[in-house]
Chain A
Amino acid sequence: MSDTRIETQGSAFGKILLNESRLAWRIPIGIGIGLGLPLILLIVFGSIPAMRQASSDLDGFSYFALSFPTLIVMTVMTLSIMALPRNLIKYRETGILRRLSVTPVPPSWLLAAQIVINLAIVVVGFVLLTAAGVAAFGLELPKNFPAFLLSVILTVTALFAVGLFMAAVIRNDAVAQGIGGLLFFALMFFGGIWLPRPMMPVVLLNISNWTPLGASVVAIQTAMQGTFPSLQSILVLIAYTLVFGYLTVRYFKWE
């Protein structure tokens, strides 16, 4: 082994990214729940013939078709408000960020690596879900693909902003786990995981429209049918991205 090595700072980010990928693989909260669970649900929903029947109760859609945007959103949710903030909060809590801040490498690189890894898992989940839905269960390809992509991207930016804001203000992992879990189920409810949106009472539907998940499911759904998403759903997602993005920058503490 040579005694010295010359390396650029570019490779330092590569090494951080490599170690963060190892951790994502070895502690598979994000991969297990974020990729595995939606995929299993997709297979379950897709395998039950009744769920693939169009129903007049559901505005002429099948339960399966309605659940697809919700499953995509579930992947984004798991990585953005469970995996990402919990990892960052743990890094701050245990002094990993602090230790990094006495090296030539700024601790923001670890945050950047976390965002990259979790985004990558989201992309894999999105591709897997879409491919499996279309190839195995006869899901129709989104009719307005650019609008579909835009809706998914805005969902990602809105939820990652919320997740980063959690990482900014929550001090310990146990609290983050509790709040993340609560937020996950509350938002998933408004996103229509248990009660599809067409079956929601008007009051709930109105609340749902203003939540990031409601807005996101509406946007994805309409894009899949070929219509450009309603301005409200797009604006709601942009607003979440900007507001929580701003609050994150304002309140984030490295230690």
Chain B
Amino acid sequence: MIKNTSTIAITVSHLKKTYGNVNAVEDVSFEVNEGEIFGMLGPNGAGKTTTVECITGLRHPDGGAISLLGFDPQADREALHLVVGVQLQFSTFSDKLKVSEILDMYQSFYPNPVNSVELAQALGFSEKLGSYYKTLSGGQKQRMSVALALIGRPKIAVLDEMTTGLDPQARLDTWELIEKTRERGTTIILVTHYMEEAERLCDRVALIDQGRIIALDTPYGLAEKVTGGKQVLFLPSKPFDEGLLTALPEVKTIEHQGKRIKVEGSGQLVNAVILTLAKNGIEALDIQSEGATLEDAFVRLTGRHIHEEPRD
């Protein structure tokens, strides 16, 4: 999925940010490739938003270095914001301005903005262009906030919880727009609470907890690495030699559950098991297969579910 691994768009090394005596970010380092969708996943208070705020120049880091396309967020703020679009949590606009008036104003900040009507159509709020901002629903406000992050045709988009508060259809529309934006070459940092979102969109995901990256991999790789991967449960048509399966590189363990057999392993586990059995004239009936999810990985790594935390 990663299109161009040779060019690095964002480098964060040993980022540290302290509020009073609370270490919001302890030591965070990562690199994002050009054209990549890079996810940041973690409970509230983990340091995701603080990291985003340092990357976008809103906060001054206490340590470490950040570079976006060669720009330092503190030293090159204006140059940076010409090429980096940002969607912040909890940002609002003037109630008594019309949506089109706000979009129009934001367009004028950039040399080559996208067409705001098309953008509003893609995000599904074009019928609200002539309405006051205050008449927008929470979801529409959220989508407008995403639109404003993309309006300047940014090379990098930083999106902090872009689909929070959206209904499922709006979420799907937003995901589609993000995928299209990436196809045009935009690099995206996506902070999210939603596992499905990270699994669908992100090329790589950093799991962040207590100010540190505790794991970084593709969503699939993360799930597999952390939880030991997949399992398949089936009912064999007749008894067989377990050695057939244990010889496979994909298989780790075999366990009998009554008449059924549970195989744990990784890679193309289901295919390997079924093919091997078929070659030996055994049919696998009633197959149930489960892949480990990002959610499993998260629970395994942090000891809790992602939505357990109170909001920060």
Report which A residues bind B (CB closer than 8 A).
Answer: 1-7, 9, 11-12, 14-16, 18-19, 22-23, 26-27, 94-96, 98-99, 101-106, 255
- CB pair A6–B111 under 8 Å, yes or no, is yes
Q: Which residues of A contact B78 (CB under 8 A)?
A: 104, 106
Contacts from B to A (Cβ < 8 Å):
56-58, 78, 81-82, 84, 86, 88, 90-94, 96-97, 101-102, 104-115, 117-118, 148, 152
The reply to whether A102 and B96 form a contact with Cβ atoms under 8 Å apart is no
User: Contact at A23–B111, with CB atoms within 8 Å?
Assistant: no
**B94 adjacent to A4 (CB under 8 Å):** no
Cβ A16 vs Cβ B111 within 8 A: no
Say whether, besides A22-B101, A23-B94, A104-B78, A99 and B109 are in contact (CB < 8 Å): no
User: Is A1 a contact partner of B114 (Cβ separation < 8 A)?
Assistant: no
Q: What is the CA–CA distance of A18 and B51 in the complex, to the nearest angstrom? A: 35
* Cβ-neighbour of A3 out of B81, B88, B114 (below 8 A): B114
- Chain A residues within 8 Å of B115, by CB: 1-3
Cβ-defined contact, B82 with A104, below 8 A:
yes
Neighbouring A residues of B93 by C-beta, 8 Å: 96, 99
A15 and B105 contacting across the interface, CB-CB below 8 Å: yes
Contact A23 B88 (CB under 8 A): no
Residue of A26, A103, A106 with most chain B CB atoms under a 10 A cut-off: A103
The interface centre, meaning the residue of A18, A22, A23, A102 with most chain B CB atoms within 10 A of its CB, is: A102
A-B contact pairs, 14 of them (CB 8 A): A5-B107, A5-B113, A7-B107, A11-B108, A12-B108, A22-B101, A95-B88, A95-B91, A95-B92, A96-B91, A96-B94, A99-B93, A101-B58, A102-B86
Instruction: Say yes or no: B105 contacts A96, CB within 8 Å.
Output: no
Main secondary structure of the interface of B (DSSP, over half): loop
The answer, among B91, B96, B111, for a CB contact under 8 Å with A7, is B111
A104 with B110: in contact, given A1-B117, A3-B115, A16-B105 (CB under 8 Å)?
A: yes
Quick one: given A103-B109, A104-B82, are A23 and B91 in contact (CB under 8 Å)? no
Bound: A118/B43 CA distance, A = 45
Q: Which residue of B lies closest to A99 (CB)?
A: B91
In the complex the two chains form, what is the Cα distance from A9 to B115 in whole Å? 18
Least CB distance, A59 to chain B, in whole angstroms: 46
Q: Given A4-B112, A98-B91, list of 14 further CB < 8 A pairs?
A: A4-B113, A7-B107, A7-B111, A12-B105, A14-B108, A15-B104, A15-B105, A19-B97, A22-B96, A95-B91, A98-B58, A98-B88, A103-B109, A255-B58
C-alpha spacing A104/B152, complex, angstroms: 10
Chain A: CB-nearest residue to B82? A104
Chain A residues with CB under 8 A of B82: 104
Residues of B within 8 A of A18 (CB): 105
Q: Is the CB of B57 within 8 A of A23?
A: no
Bound: A94/B91 CA distance, A: 7
When C-beta atoms are compared, the residue in chain B nearest to A26 turns out to be B96
Task: State the CA gap A22–B95 with chains docked (Å).
Answer: 12
Given the complex of chains A and B, what is the CA–CA distance between A105 and B101 in angstroms? 17
Report if A94-B96 is in contact (Cβ < 8 Å); known contacts: A6-B111, A22-B101.
no
Check A19 against B102 for contact (C-beta < 8 Å): yes
What are the nearest 8 A-B pairs in CB distance?
A102-B86, A15-B108, A15-B105, A99-B91, A26-B96, A12-B108, A94-B92, A95-B91
Instruction: Name the distance in Å between A104's Cβ and chain B's nearest Cβ.
Output: 5
**Alpha-carbon distance A163/B1, docked complex (angstroms):** 55
Distance from A221 Cβ to chain B, minimum over Cβ atoms (Å): 38
Bound: A101/B73 CA distance, A? 12
Give the chain A neighbours of B104 by CB distance below 8 A: 15
Check B107 against A23 for contact (C-beta < 8 Å).
Answer: no
A104 contact set on B, CB distance < 8 A: 78, 81-82, 109-110, 152
Chain B residues with CB under 8 Å of A96's CB are 91-94
- Residues on the B chain within 8 Å of A27, using CB: 96
| Contact with A102, one of B58, B92, B107, B111 (Cβ below 8 angstroms) | B58
A99 proximity list for chain B (CB < 8 A): 88, 91, 93, 148
Contact status of A23 and B97, CB under 8 A, knowing A1-B115, A11-B108, A104-B82: yes
A6 CB to nearest B CB, Å: 6
CB-CB < 8 A to B105: which residues of A? 12, 15-16, 18-19
Query: How many whole Å from A5's CB to the nearest CB in chain B?
Result: 6
Contacts of B90 in A (CB 8 A): 95
| Pairwise interchain contact A6-B94, C-beta atoms closer than 8 A | no
Q: How far is the CB of A26 from chain B (nearest CB, A)?
A: 4
On chain A, the residues within 8 Å of B88 by CB distance are 95, 98-99, 102
Q: For B101, what are the chain A residues with a Cβ–Cβ distance below 8 Å?
A: 19, 22
Most buried by A among B82, B101, B108: B108
Task: Determine how close the nearest CB of chain B comes to the CB of A16; give it in whole angstroms.
Answer: 6
> How many angstroms from the CA of A82 to the CA of B85 in the assembled complex?
34
Q: How far is the CA of A104 from the CA of B97 in the complex (A)?
A: 21
**CA of A3 to CA of B118, assembled, Å:** 9
Q: Which of A2, A23, A102, A255 contacts B81 (CB 8 A)?
A: A102
B102 and A103 within 8 A (CB): no
A98 to B102, CA, bound (A): 15
